[in-house]
Each structure stands twice: as C-alpha cells, then as structure tokens.
Amino acid sequence: DGGITQSPKYLFRKEGQNVTLSCEQNLNHDAMYWYRQDPGQGLRLIYYSQIVNDFQKGDIAEGYSVSREKKESFPLTVTSAQKNPTAFYLCASISGQGLRNTEAFFGQGTRLTVV
Amino acid sequence: DQQVKQNSPSLSVQEGRISILNCDYTNSMFDYFLWYKKYPAEGPTFLISISSIKDKNEDGRFTVFLNKSAKHLSLHIVPSQPGDSAVYFCAASARFGNEKLTFGTGTRLTIIP
C-alpha cells in the first residue's frame, strides 16, 4: 500500500526547543515538499527537494531546516529561530521531473503547537 | 506577492446545483494547474488538473476551465453533493519552476442539503 506518512499527527513544543517532523514515502517519488498551512493563507512552501542530497528554500524557509539523505525520507526541523511555529505542516511528493501530468500526493499532516 | 489567488473565501451551494470555484493567477510562466480538496486536519487530495495547452478538462462531476488570456481558471462541480463540502485549493506550476506548486488561499465550499 503505497503512500506518504507524516508523524506525529500532533506535536507540542516548548519555546526555545527544536523539533523534527517526519515524512516518509514509499511511492518511489523523486521530489518531496514541505508546506505550512495557516488560517486564511493557503499552503506556503517551506522547502523542497527534487533529488537525494539536494534541496532548495521555498517562500518561507527562515527558521526551518531539512535534509534529504534518502529518497524515501524528508524530515523537517522547526528551529527555535522560527518565531511563529504553531501551524499545520504538510509534506508532499511528486513522482518526477518532466512528468507534468502527475499530481502531488500529500501526507495527513502534523499539527505543531508551541506551549 | 500572492501569485495564485482565490478571492472567495467561502461559498454555499444548494445540493444538486452547480458549484463554481474561481482562481486567478499572475505569473504568466505557469502552465499547469491543479485543484485539490481538503478536509480539516487532513492532507489535500488531488481532484483534477489541466495543462495550458487545453481550455477544458472533465472528470465525472468535475470540470476545470482555463482562460489563459484572463489568467483565470474555474472548477465546476455538477451536481453538488454534501460530501463535496470541504476547502478547495487551486495550485499552479511552471515548466521551468522546478515543478514546485504554488497554492491559492482556498475556498470553503458548503453544500446545503
């Protein structure tokens, strides 16, 4: 059963702590993405990776870091430098470059709350 | 700079009638457009897409129309059903934009039984 899995579903962080959100896919997709959803602001791109060991900043990368050591995994770290981390985080994957008729598949999301 | 805009944050439609959701974009490099449906606390699911070489694409009750000159696309749902109540996002990508999807702010569709 192929898919994209995010964990945990809910995460609480104390101010000043770093936390890492997990994203794993077994779809053999090349490209993976992290988005953040806030009320009334749609989905904003944080980071994306089109190939292993390479990634690019999206529109709101400040305060976040990522790694892409394996094709299947694209973890996102929310650092203490992120001033407003409370949000719903979505991970997505796309099968490959040039396949223009392929949509992105999303995980179920992680809701991060700073306490 | 919002490159993909959905100017209606919400829309209510009677069950059985047509739902029309609109989306405008500003980046002329966008050449591939998608619609996603999202329930609360879940990831978006893909509905339908359209390439810029077409002006219409149908899939069952869902039809997407693209007007390139106006930089406008719309999603038609006919007939609307209660299960269609969700937030709908349009998204766009550019062939030379590393395939990243730029999303609109979403429209909450409520189907009234």
Q: Chain-centre distance of CA A26, in angstroms?
A: 15
Closest Cβ–Cβ partner in A45, A90, A107 for B100: A45
pLDDT, greater one: A102 or B26: B26
> How many whole angstroms separate alpha carbon A40 and alpha carbon B112?
22
Give the residue among A68, A70, A72 at the shortest CA–CA distance from A27.
A72
In this predicted structure, what is the pLDDT of residue B41?
83
Confidence of residue A97 (pLDDT cuts 50, 70, 90): low
Contact partners, residue B49, CB within 8 Å, separation at least 6 = A101, A103, B32, B33, B34, B35, B57, B64
| Residues of chain B positioned with their CB less than 8 A from the CB of A36 | none
Alpha carbon of B16: minimum distance to chain A alpha carbons (Å): 28
How far apart, in whole angstroms, are the C-alpha atoms of residue A101 and residue B95? 11
Q: Which residue of B has its CA nearest to A50?
A: B98
Residues B86-108 as b or e (16 or more Cβ within 10 Å = b): bbbbbbbbbeeeebbbbbbbbbe
Contact A48 B98 (CB under 8 A): yes
CB contact under 8 A, B101 and A31: no
Query: Which chain B residue has the Cα nearest residue A38?
Result: B105
A103 interfaces chain B, CB cutoff of 8 Å: yes
User: What pLDDT sits at residue A66?
Assistant: 98
Closest B-chain CA to A89:
B43
Q: Is A1 a residue whose pLDDT tops 70? A: no
Chain B residues near any Cβ of chain A (below 8 Å)? 4, 6, 9, 32, 34, 36, 41-46, 49, 51, 89, 91, 95, 98-106
pLDDT given at position A22: 97
Facing residue for A48 by CB, picked from B6, B49, B100: B100
pLDDT < 70: residue spans in chain B: 95-99
The distance of A106 to chain B (nearest Cα, Å) reads 5
- The whole-number average pLDDT for the span A75-87 is 93
A114 φ/ψ angles, rounded to the nearest 5 degrees = -90, 130
Q: What is the pLDDT of residue B100?
A: 78
